[in-house]
Amino acid sequence: MNGLWAERSLEPERMDLETLDAGTAASILGTLETINAWLGGVHATLSHVRRFSKRWKPGERIRFIDWGTGGADLPRALVRWGRKNGFKIEVVGVDGSGPIIEYARQACREYPEIRLVETDFDAFADPAEPFDYAISSLCLHHLNDADNISLLERSDRLARRGLIMNDLKRSARAWLWIWLLTRLGGAHPIVKNDGPLSVRRAFLPEELQELANQARLPYLSVKTHFGYRLTLAGEKLAVPRVSGTYVPGKQYTRSFTGMGRA
């Protein structure tokens, strides 16, 4: 890949620089939720949840932490899925923006299973009870590589079963689609700026995998989904059985240990 798409852009998004008022936050998050639904972002995460749930017990309580929860559209989708399929899904959504958290609280009024916390990632207090899974959607591209590695490491410590991180795939076609979608329906100027920029800040599959390698999490792997989405996901019960120290980037055979905990 050459030129504009060869490397991640380091240009900051307006959403990360500006202090949002309640009205602006509502306008931005409403548009992003619609685009996320159209382009399959929620479906990408749920595809892993469906697969992982084959090892859950009927009626089991499953706890998620969602980093950069935004309007909490992903937690709401998880809870709806759990209600439909007989699992007690609980989600803690974390976001550092007060207006964004307030928007999410209004959106989650009929979802007592969701608790929202206004704090930065590194300030989030470790809970007394571990989570089962750590998840995120469109969060990683807001961070630099070092912070992403730290977030993956912390997620691994907090989540006893696994991780599902969902983000954009960097490409010219993805940029064009996002540019067009953010020009429809009178989107807020911040959305028009940040939508296409998000694609330029996003990842190639091998870049996302290398973040997992650097975080020393060999159970995570990258999958490409509809709508120019990538997931970095896996469960700890599927960690390759290897001797010695894990080597970032090394290819391992698919022999698995029984590290998962029910």
Question: Model confidence over 107-120: pLDDT tens digits?
Answer: 999 999 999 999 99
Model confidence at 58, pLDDT cuts 50, 70, 90, reads very high
- DSSP for the chain, written as a single string: --GGGSS---PPPHHHHSPPPHHHHHHHHHHHHHHHHHTTHHHHHHHHHHHHGGGSPTT-EEEEEEET-TT-HHHHHHHHHHHHHT-EEEEEEEES-HHHHHHHHHHTTT-TTEEEEE--GGGPPPPSS-EEEEEEES-GGGS-HHHHHHHHHHHHHHEEEEEEEEEEBP-HHHHHHHHHHTTSS---HHHHHHHHHHHHHSB-HHHHHHHHHHTT-TT-EEEEETTTEEEEEEEGGG-B--SS---TT----S-B------
Q: At what angle do helices 98-107 and 22-38 cross, to 10 degrees?
A: 60
Going by pLDDT thresholds of 50, 70 and 90, the confidence category of residue 240 is very low
| pLDDT score, position 236 | 95
In the predicted model, is pLDDT for residue 80 greater than 60? yes
- Rounded mean pLDDT, 212-220: 98
**Res. 2 pLDDT band, cuts 50 70 90:** low
Report the Cα–Cα distance between both ends of the chain, in Å, rounded: 43
Q: Which position has the higher pLDDT, 162 or 258? A: 162
Given a cut of 60, is residue 249 above it in pLDDT? no
> What burial letters (b/e) apply to 12-25, b meaning 16+ CB within 10 Å?
ebbbeeeebeeebb
Q: Is the pLDDT of residue 252 over 70?
A: no
pLDDT on residue 3: 66
Q: What is the mean pLDDT of residues 126-143?
A: 94
Share of the chain above pLDDT 70, in %: 89
Average pLDDT over residues 118-139: 93
Distance CA 190, CA 27 (A): 10
**What is the structure's pLDDT at 238?**
52
CATH architecture of 23-236: 3-Layer(aba) Sandwich (3.40)
pLDDT at 244 (0 to 100) = 38
Task: Sketch the domain layout of the chain as residue ranges.
Answer: 23-236
The string of pLDDT tens digits covering residues 168-209 is 999 999 999 899 888 876 789 999 999 999 999 999 999 999
Q: What is the mean pLDDT of residues 125-135?
A: 92
pLDDT at 248 over 70: no
Q: What average pLDDT does the segment 217-228 reach?
A: 96
User: And the tokens for 169?
Assistant: 């795939």
Q: What average pLDDT score do residues 130-152 get?
A: 97
Average pLDDT of span 51-56: 97
Name the average pLDDT for the chain.
Answer: 88
pLDDT confidence of residue 183: 85
